[in-house]
């Protein structure tokens, strides 16, 4: 499947030519736009304009400016998104704000098997607030009922599961939770930029995400926080000077800024934000609907190819075949997944491994093509058939992201 606007954008990705990059769900690649924004921010803005750049180049508003670039990608209104801190820190803020809003209840419900930082953060907040004011319950989201949420103040869950690639029904779960009297915080780490999102029409309360995956903002690039307009009266639990109503008056009393700015804490890296600002320029030239179509065609083709392959007898597909339940990565479970993943990387097929036996293939519609799905599956077939993964060099585990 081809799409002219996406075809035009593909050439901006400065990808190494000898690799098939299927790990954009972990780290998006460098683009010419991100590179140009970085060089400008470093050499001209910091290097030549120095402290005057805070005004001259709008550094002081960058978290809001970049937030406004993210807004249309996730179906949010301008002014409801801010780009700052990490996803984890933003989740802490969103959960605390949700507990403050829904203050007749004290429970945070989390998805049991989601990316664990979400549950760690919820537990850390509960520990700080004390058991009488906050408790955390883990639940199996696939069996969630309104009854499970009858005493929940806020439900926190991932839109796309990091292991299986399962896409949750955001409007349905949000409505279910709200009918049961709970607020919802969605973690968009694996869906922003590849799945059509409409936070406003789904009446989502809060959402958090990162910009280093499918948004291509750079390694460890800042997170973002969405708060529905009516929730922007809640307090930031880490109220730093950048969220003050009058930052440069240095008043002894904290008075939160109006709107999304109150969710700022300290000073943000201008260089990191400049990379994100550059990377997001590409999203002005394509629609998320088109990206979703291409993403689905890539994952669909990959799954179909797997079904026709001898590999389907020795591996299990963890990712839903139903388009409406699938994000933008496909996960296979198989024996010897770790050494096999290392052999794939050695062959230039960049994927990642997840405990205990999963190989994840991430498909980024902005730059991956059907040829990539074929090359990846062929390489996997050859590695498994030849048992080449048994070589000692593929057995050694080190840190893998």
Does 115 participate in catalysis according to the annotation? yes
Q: Scan residues 115-154 and list those touching a copy of itself (CB under 8 A).
A: 115-117, 119-121, 123-124, 127-130, 133, 138
Q: What is the DSSP letter of 235?
A: P
Which positions from 10 through 29 interact with a copy of itself, judged by CB under 8 A? Answer: 14, 16, 19, 21, 23, 26-27, 29
Burial of 124 (0-12, 13-18, 19+ CB in 10 A): middle
Reply yes or no: is the peptide bond before residue 390 cis, omega within 30 of 0: no
Read off the DSSP letter of residue 374: H
For residue 91, the minimal CB distance to a copy of itself (Å) is 9
Is the Cβ of residue 42 or residue 314 nearer to a copy of itself in the bound state? 42
Instruction: State how far the Cα of 321 lies from the Cα of 330, in Å rounded to an integer.
Output: 10
Cβ proximity to a copy of itself, 245 vs 316, nearer residue:
245
Would you count residue 400 as binding a copy of itself (CB under 8 A)? yes
- Residues in the interface with a copy of itself (CB under 8 A) total 91
Q: Which two tokens stand for residue 76?
A: 């949010």
Considering only residues 203 to 222 of the shown chain, the ones binding a copy of itself according to CB under 8 A are 210, 212, 218-222
One character per residue 260-279, x = contact with a copy of itself (rule: CB under 8 A): -----xxxxxxxxx-x----
14-19 LR contacts (CB < 8 Å, sep 24+): 15/367, 18/348, 19/348, 19/349, 19/350
Among 93, 107, 213, 326, which one carries the catalytic annotation?
A: 213
User: Active-site residue 214, yes or no?
Assistant: no
Q: Which of residues 347-386 bind a copy of itself (CB under 8 A)?
A: 350, 352, 354-355
Among 4-12, 142-150, 236-244, 285-293, the segment contacting a copy of itself (CB under 8 A)? 236-244
Handedness of CA 373, 379, 384, 389 (dihedral sign): negative
To a copy of itself, the closest distance from the beta carbon of 121 in angstroms equals: 6
- Residue 161's nearest CA partner among 195, 190, 120 is 190
Contact criterion met (CB below 8 Å) for 142 and 112: no
Q: Which of 115, 263, 283, 389 is catalytic?
A: 115
Toward a copy of itself, which CB reaches closer, 2 or 401?
401
Catalytic annotation present for 187: yes
Q: Which of 3, 35, 178, 312 binds a copy of itself (CB under 8 A)?
A: 35
Asked if 242 and 181 count as a contact pair (C-beta separation under 8 A), the reply is: no
DSSP of 125-164, one letter per residue? Answer: HHHHH-TTT-EEEEE-GGG--GGGGTTEEEEEEESB-TTT
Tokens of 394: 């593929």
The residue (of 75 and 222) whose beta carbon lies closer to a copy of itself is 222
- The residue (of 167 and 273) whose beta carbon lies closer to a copy of itself is 273
Binding of a copy of itself by 239 (CB under 8 A): yes
Annotated catalytic residues are 115, 187, 212-213, 360
């Amino acid at each position: 499947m081809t799409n002219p606007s996406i075809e035009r954008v593909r050439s901006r990705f400065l990808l190494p030519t000898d690799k098939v990059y299927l790990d954009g769900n972990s780290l998006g690649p460098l683009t010419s736009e991100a590179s140009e924004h970085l060089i400008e921010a470093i050499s001209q803005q910091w290097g030549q304009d120095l402290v005057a750049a805070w005004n001259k180049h709008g550094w002081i508003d960058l978290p809001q400016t970049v937030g406004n670039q993210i807004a249309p990608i996730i179906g949010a209104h301008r002014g409801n998104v801010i780009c700052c801190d990490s996803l984890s820190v933003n989740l802490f803020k969103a959960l605390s704000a949700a507990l403050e809003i829904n203050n007749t209840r004290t429970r945070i419900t989390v998805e049991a098997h989601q990316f664990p930082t979400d549950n760690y953060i919820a537990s850390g907040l509960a520990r700080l607030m004390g058991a009488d004011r906050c408790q955390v319950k883990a639940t199996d989201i696939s069996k969630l009922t309104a009854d499970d949420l009858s005493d929940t103040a806020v439900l926190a869950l991932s839109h796309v599961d990091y292991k299986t690639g399962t896409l949750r029904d955001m409007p349905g779960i949000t409505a279910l939770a709200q009918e049961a009297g709970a607020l919802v915080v969605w973690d968009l780490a694996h869906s922003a930029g590849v799945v059509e999102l409409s936070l406003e029409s789904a009446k989502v309360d809060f959402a958090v995400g990162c910009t280093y995956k499918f948004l291509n903002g750079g390694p460890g690039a800042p997170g973002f926080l969405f708060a529905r307009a009516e929730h922007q009266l809640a307090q930031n639990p880490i109220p730093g000077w950048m969220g003050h109503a009058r930052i440069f008056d240095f008043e002894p009393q904290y008075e939160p800024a109006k709107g999304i700015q109150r969710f700022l804490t300290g000073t943000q890296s201008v260089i990191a934000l400049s990379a994100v600002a550059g990377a997001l320029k590409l999203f002005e030239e394509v629609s998320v609907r088109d990206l979703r179509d291409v993403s689905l065609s890539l994952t669909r083709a990959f799954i179909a190819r797997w079904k026709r392959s001898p590999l389907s007898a020795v591996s299990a597909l963890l990712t839903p075949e139903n388009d409406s339940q699938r994000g933008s990565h496909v996960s296979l479970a198989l024996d010897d997944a770790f050494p096999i993943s290392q052999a794939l990387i050695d062959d230039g097929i960049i994927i990642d491994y997840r405990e205990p036996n999963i190989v994840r293939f991430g498909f980024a519609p902005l730059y991956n093509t059907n040829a990539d799905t074929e090359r990846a599956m062929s390489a996997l077939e050859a590695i498994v058939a030849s048992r080449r993964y048994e070589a000692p060099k593929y057995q050694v585990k080190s840190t893998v992201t």
